């Protein structure tokens, strides 16, 4: 999960929108975990 978080932060840095990118990645992670977990 740390890899996902770091990727989200890196993406957010490039987009200058940390909150939006982080929550988008987090929602994607949780959705995948719900489906495949």
Domain ranges for the chain, please list them.
2-36
pLDDT reported for residue 30? 85
Over the stretch 1-37, which tens digit does the pLDDT of each residue have? Answer: 677 878 877 776 666 666 677 888 888 888 877 666 5
Residue 16 dihedral angles phi and psi, to the nearest 5°: 60, 35
pLDDT reported for residue 1? 66
- DSSP class of residue 16 equals T
pLDDT reported for residue 24? 84
Token pair 């987009």 is at which residue? 15
Helix (DSSP H) and strand (DSSP E) numbers for the chain: 2, 0
- From residue 13, give the alpha-carbon distance in Å to each of 29, 31, 33, 34, 36: 19, 23, 25, 28, 29
pLDDT reported for residue 18? 61
pLDDT reported for residue 26? 86
pLDDT reported for residue 7? 80
Does the predicted model carry a pTM greater than 0.75? no
């Amino acid at each position: 999960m740390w890899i996902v978080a770091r990727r989200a932060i890196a993406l957010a840095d490039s987009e200058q929108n940390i909150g939006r990118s982080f929550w988008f990645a987090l929602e994607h992670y949780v959705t995948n975990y719900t489906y495949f977990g």
